[in-house]
Amino acid sequence: MQKRILIVDDEPAIRDMVAFALRKGEYDPVHAGDALEAQTAIADRVPDMILLDWMLPGTSG
């Protein structure tokens, strides 16, 4: 089973680049653009790891 990694970043280009690299490593990347999306993704299925931007709009990582 692939390890699920949640990418939380408000910049779509960064999320896409990181997800691309993770897929090459046979991981299962999940995207979130803000804290609310991240909370929803975590509630759906807890990821094995979270890559978190600490400067999100309206929220600090």
**pLDDT score at 60:** 61
For residue 26, the domain's CATH number is 3.40.50.2300
Number of structural domains (the chain) is 1
Complete DSSP assignment for 5-56 = EEEE-S-HHHHHHHHHHHHHTT-EEEEESSHHHHHHHHHHS--SEEEE-SEE
pLDDT at 58: 79
Let me know if residue 61 belongs to a domain. no
> How crowded is the C-beta side of 8, counted as CA atoms within 13 Å?
23
pLDDT (tens digit, 9 = 90+) per residue, 6-46? 999 999 999 999 999 999 999 999 999 999 999 999 999 99
pLDDT of residue 54: 86
Q: Is residue 44 part of a domain?
A: yes
Is 70 exceeded by the pLDDT of residue 61? no
Q: Is residue 28 part of a domain?
A: yes
Please indicate, yes or no, if residue 42 is contained in any of the structural domains: yes
DSSP letter, residue 59: E
pTM for this one? 0.90
Q: Which domain holds residue 12?
A: 4-52
